[in-house]
Structure 1
């Protein structure tokens, strides 16, 4: 994909970048996913939390730090991780919404969930912001964390 800074972008262009992002995710190409983002792209997965004794880790930060680490860890824990893109809707201002099912079979620990060889598939909603440069400047993802935990056999009671 060639990106030209002076080019005027349309909804179709922004949707194509997001579709390419999920193609690279499906191929487990974390560097390629990050290459579709600006150097300082924002990253937020509000449902993601890992509770420890002294702190809670949350997925808010930048694609280059938090995002890449989460994607790589997720792919490592679920080697057959895949995604099915149902819809990608965009506008000419670079706002993109994608409905995607993500799933896989757990082979290694993920957060506090020990591997039991179980499979999950959960709907996700992603919000992207595209820039006139053709790159993504913001990614936010939502899903039902309890649904994933239940499918993986991890039932937690506070």
Structure 2
């Protein structure tokens, strides 16, 4: 599979809310880093701890891939992620509001076609604002 196909498969599995299948795409020592949350570590911890929480809190969570670009062992993905909040997530109480925030993912893929490292960036202030969290000290 090409880097583009691997990245698209990851987001297909994310849309299907299949966290175990997402984790299975990583090499054994694979890692995940969510820069705005300063959250990084092994995929077995960070993946379910972030994706699982998001899916539980935003049951209609979905993504729409805008573009995927390849470069060497990397795939660069521009994607919109959206959902309607039904329970607290990452310190944000649920007000029943929806969000749609553009994200940028960098996949580092090993020669065997497994994800070695995944880095993600987004505008966290925009995410908070859309969900109604205006006091960042809480």
Q: Is TM > 0.5 for Structure 1 vs Structure 2?
A: yes
- Match for residue 12 of structure 2? 23
Deviation readout 1:23-69 (Å, 9 max, x if unpaired): 00000000000111111111100101xxxxxxxxx411111111221
Unaligned 5+ runs, structure 1: 1-8, 49-57
Query: Does the 8 Å CA contact 1:95/1:130 hold for their aligned counterparts?
Result: yes
Shift of 1:99: 0.1
Query: Following superposition of structure 1 onto structure 2, how do residues 2-81 of structure 1 map, counting pairs within 5 Å?
Result: 13-48=2-37, 58-81=38-61
Larger radius of gyration: 1
Equivalenced residue count is 137
CA separation in 2, counterparts of 1:157 and 1:76?
Answer: 23
TM-score (norm 2): 0.95
Alignment gaps of 5+ in structure 2 = none
Residue of structure 2 in register with 1:130 after alignment: 109
Distance 1:148 1:157 in 2: 12
Residues in 2 aligned to 1:25 and 1:16: alpha-carbon distance in whole angstroms: 14
After superposition, give the CA deviation of every residue in 1:111-144 in whole Å (9 maximum; x if it has no partner).
2111111000000000010111111100000000
What residue number does 1:112 align with?
Answer: 91
